[in-house]
Structure formats: C-alpha cells, structure tokens
Amino acid sequence: MAKFITTEELKKKIDGEDDFYLVDVLSAGSYKARHIPVAKNVPNEPGFLEQFEKEIAAPKDAEIIVYCASETCMASQMAADILEKAGYTDVIHYKEGLAGWQNARYKFE
C-alpha cells in the first residue's frame, strides 16, 4: 500500500528541489489545462505501466508521487497500486490532488 503525502509536504518537496518524480495520472487534456509544477503526465489508462516506464524511466527505488483530481478520484490510487505491483518500492499517493493544491492557493502550471 502506497504511503501518503499532504499538500504542505508536497509543496516543501517541490520548493526544496528534492529528487523525486511527480506524476499526474489524469488525461492529457486535464494536464494541459492545469497541473502541479514539475509534474509529468502519464494518464492512468490501458498501457499505463508501459507508458510510465517509457516516459518517466524511474529506477525501481525512486521516490514516485502520483496524484489525480481529488480525494474522491481513484485514478491515482489505482496507478500507485500498478506501480507497486511492478516492483516500485517508494510510491507515494498525493490523494488531495488538484483540489487540495487549489484549496491551498498554490499556483498551477
């Protein structure tokens, strides 16, 4: 089961330039409209794992943070499960997603 991260913890990581991968698992259209700074887009759809491995190319022990729209959106939880089953050992779920980022009044890209 993936660990969780709060909005404030994620903001500190981004500001601190920590070494991690932030992955927006929403559609490409949603990503283009707005996304959290430094995030890459790999939609949670058929072929997610293959696309993740091709585009992100993260080592299996890398810190990977996934998010989607909000706490009620299950796309990022499903993506975290897929990554863990594939052998990624440091998967973190930002369950507050875009809604949490917006509620904290942080800027989007």
Alpha helices for the chain (secondary structure H): 7-15, 28-33, 48-55, 75-85, 97-103
Q: Which two structure tokens, joined as six digits, stand for 74? A: 């299950």
pLDDT digits (tens, 9 = 90+) for 5-60: 999 999 999 999 789 999 999 999 999 999 999 999 999 999 999 999 999 999 99
Q: For residue 9, what pLDDT is reported?
A: 97
What is the value of pTM for the model shown?
0.96
In a 10 Å sphere around its CB, with 0-12 CB exposed, 13-18 middle and 19+ buried, how is residue 82 labelled?
A: middle
Identify the band that residue 2 occupies on the pLDDT scale cut at 50, 70 and 90: confident
Look up residue 94 and give its DSSP letter.
E
Nearest to 5 by CA among 107, 91, 85, 106: 91
